[in-house]
Amino acid sequence: MRYALDVQYLGKNYAGSQIQFEGNEPIDEPTVQGELERALSTLIIGGKITNNKQDRQVKTIFSGRTDKGVNALGQVVHFDTDKEIVASSFIYHINEILPDDISVNNLRIVPDSWHAQKSAKARYYRYELINRRFKQAFDGDILRVKYELDVERMQTALNFLLGEHDFSSFKSSGTLNPSKVCVLTKAEVEKQGDRIFIHLEGNRFLYNMVRTIVGTLLEIEGHRLPVEHMKEVLEAHDRRKAGQTVSPFGLTLMKVTY
């Protein structure tokens, strides 16, 4: 039987969402997947597991990988088990086992053909930053931009990214997936006081794509480049033309649509 979970987590204490391996050996760093599989194994099978690949008794598939420091409000995960699970009891008990910065918010039965990653139609990310000259005690790890940002200019620049494009310019090295074409259906900037939110939704995202798009927006604003610079970067298909990859803190996977 296949089950799907809706999962939330704060990413700052983890080396990403998924267990990473060097050859057959797991990298000894905490991950969301590692904690989730340990909790599932304890709850469903009654034993604990290690990071060793062969010891993972309950294996999970995530809708997509998030990097170190990236949060999730709407991560989706599936796993298989031959045991029948009662959702209300399961959610309570697994949240008692999980660390405080990870929670399961929903469980449902899905068809055996359903796949958390491959069945996904769209993913929605939000990047939050602070636009203020001086720091405040509760800013935390959120990126603070000291110069004034023009959200209207930022929106005009983002509009060039809507639709189906080769996003090679915004892709960092480190992914084995050769595909570079994505369809961006939402690209919006929102200002709330001294907080700015950048909303991006698409069928898929390349490695560090959201953070590099934000970095390019900040480069355009910081150097007062014409907004058409975003279009030039997009069409160049050259990572060297884009801005820096900004901090992962402030980036949240908000929702996965199926």
Which positions are annotated as active-site residues? 67
Distance of CA 71 to the CA centre of its chain: 6
The whole-angstrom separation of Cα 226 and Cα 120 is 35
Q: Which long-range contacts (CB under 8 A, 24 or more apart) does 22-29 make?
A: 24/53, 26/51, 26/52, 26/53
The whole-angstrom separation of Cα 228 and Cα 203 is 24
Angle at 53 between CA 47 and CA 58, to 5 degrees: 45
Q: Check if the beta carbon of residue 195 is closer than 8 Å to that of residue 162.
A: no
Angle at 6 between CA 83 and CA 89, to 5 degrees: 45
Distances 19 to 34, 128, 137, 224 between C-alpha atoms, Å:
6, 26, 33, 41
Q: Check if the beta carbon of residue 237 is closer than 8 Å to that of residue 169.
A: yes
The whole-angstrom separation of Cα 143 and Cα 175 is 25
Q: Check if the beta carbon of residue 78 is closer than 8 Å to that of residue 61.
A: yes
The whole-angstrom separation of Cα 17 and Cα 72 is 9
Task: Tell me the three state secondary structure of residue 214.
Answer: helix
